[in-house]
């Protein structure tokens, strides 16, 4: 059993107790960092910041939430910009990301955001450096969305959104490395909104007044090589691959959409695909993947037989109203 699978069982698998000393160290360091920043809050930026993150390791659906938030804020008259850590990217940082930037430079999720949204986007491990750069290149920005960064307390923020996967929830409820959590479950009570990806709402969230349901809607298959939409996938031996935090979610979606038999192959989150990986799938005539995986498959010889599935997040109107109210300037600002 992998450590990730062990984390998401409801009770602690016995061999995880071997990590108890490291767990104690992680809790001590993370608690100290949070208290240090909260006792000396960072200086707010010139525009409000919305952080979209989570308290657990692995994919929960933050990127689709960020994309949906961009669209809704634009509909309200805002000019949003995005900052991100750029996980897996080599920089140099801070790096302004466009649709033409390579995934190797900026990371897969920022490239996906840039290609889908076309808003100003800067990546850097130091989120304040990313924010300063995005305000320099886009001075008309009215709100910054931080894709991830809930635990990056050096960044001042006006609104926090924690995304939780309905199926995996908070796992066994323990922090790293015994469990999947970066912060304790009680942290969810202090964020402004908890967005649950899927249904039903996990029992751990019952009693919280700021929980919103969200569903991901598939938008139809597209060919990786040229982004052309496909009315129907070609016939042939098929494999579904996923280098995301929760591959099983994607495989379940493929099962719902396609009646064909297919094999599955899971890779590590943010996996950097190579020509060798594509060659290893040479016996397959159809390769299905997430949009995030497609960012690193373009340019590979096998891209012509690869297809990806874009998804969109449906955010409830009540959440957007709460955010809009929070972003209104106070009397002191007017």
pLDDT at 309: 97
Q: Residue 331's pLDDT band (boundaries 50, 70, 90)?
A: very low
Q: Determine the Cα–Cα distance for residues 226 and 211; give it in Å rounded to an integer.
A: 39
59 is in an annotated binding site: yes
311 is in an annotated binding site: no
- Report in angstroms the alpha-carbon separations of 290 from 123, 219, 238: 22, 12, 14
63 is in an annotated binding site: yes
Contacts of 193 (CB under 8 A, 6+ apart): 159, 160, 161, 162, 210, 211, 212, 319, 322, 323
290 is in an annotated binding site: no
Q: Determine the Cα–Cα distance for residues 222 and 157; give it in Å rounded to an integer.
A: 36
207 is in an annotated binding site: no
Q: Determine the Cα–Cα distance for residues 115 and 103; give it in Å rounded to an integer.
A: 11
DSSP assignment string, 120-165 = -EEE-SSHHHHHHHHHHH-TT--EEEEES-TT-TTS--SEEEEEEE
Q: List, for residues 57-115, the tens digit of each pLDDT value.
A: 988 999 999 999 999 999 999 999 999 999 889 999 999 999 999 999 999 999 999 99
The answer to whether residues 199 and 166 touch, using CB atoms and an 8 Å cutoff, is yes
Q: Which of 24-33, 62-71, 93-102, 322-331 has the lowest mean pLDDT?
A: 322-331
The 10 Å CB-count burial string (b at 16+, else e) for 125-140 is eebbebbbbbbeebee
pLDDT at 10 over 50: yes
- What pTM did the predictor assign? 0.94
pLDDT at 128 over 90: yes
61 is in an annotated binding site: yes
Residue 122: name the closest of 142, 104, 145 by CA: 145
Q: Determine the Cα–Cα distance for residues 72 and 159; give it in Å rounded to an integer.
A: 15
Q: List, for residues 178-216, the tens digit of each pLDDT value.
A: 999 999 999 999 999 999 999 899 999 999 989 999 999
Q: Compare 324 and 304 and report the one with higher pLDDT.
A: 324
* Residue that has been written with the tokens 């970066």 in this structure: 182
């Amino acid at each position: 059993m992998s450590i990730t699978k062990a984390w998401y069982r409801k009770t602690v698998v016995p061999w995880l107790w071997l990590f108890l000393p490291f767990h104690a160290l992680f809790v001590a360091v993370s608690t100290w960092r949070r208290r240090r920043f909260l006792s000396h809050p960072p200086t707010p930026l010139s525009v409000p910041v919305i952080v979209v993150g989570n308290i657990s390791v692995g994919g929960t659906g933050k990127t689709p939430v960020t994309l949906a938030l961009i669209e809704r804020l634009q509909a309200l008259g805002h000019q949003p910009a995005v900052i991100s850590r750029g996980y897996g990217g080599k920089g140099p940082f801070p790096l302004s990301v466009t649709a033409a930037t390579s995934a190797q430079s900026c990371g897969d999720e920022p490239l996906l955001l840039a290609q889908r949204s076309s808003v100003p986007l800067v990546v850097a491990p130091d989120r304040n450096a990313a924010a300063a750069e995005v305000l320099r290149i886009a001075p008309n920005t009215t709100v910054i969305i931080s894709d991830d960064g809930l635990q990056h307390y050096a960044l001042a923020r006006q609104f926090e959104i924690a995304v939780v996967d309905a199926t995996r929830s908070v796992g066994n409820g323990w922090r790293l490395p015994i469990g999947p959590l970066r912060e304790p479950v009680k942290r969810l009570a202090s964020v402004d909104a908890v967005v649950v990806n899927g249904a039903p709402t996990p029992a751990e969230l019952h009693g919280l007044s700021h929980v919103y349901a969200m569903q991901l809607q598939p938008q139809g298959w597209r060919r990786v090589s040229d982004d052309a939409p496909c009315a129907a996938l070609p016939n042939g031996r098929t494999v579904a691959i996923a280098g995301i935090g929760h591959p099983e979610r994607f495989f379940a979606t493929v099962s719902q959409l396609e009646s064909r038999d297919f094999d599955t192959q899971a890779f590590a989150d943010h996996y950097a695909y190579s020509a060798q990986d594509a060659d290893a799938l040479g016996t397959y005539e159809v390769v299905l993947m997430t949009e995030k995986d497609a960012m690193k498959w373009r340019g590979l010889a096998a891209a012509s037989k690869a297809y990806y599935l874009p998804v969109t997040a449906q955010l409830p109107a009540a959440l957007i109203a709460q955010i809009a109210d929070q972003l209104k300037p106070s009397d002191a600002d007017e």
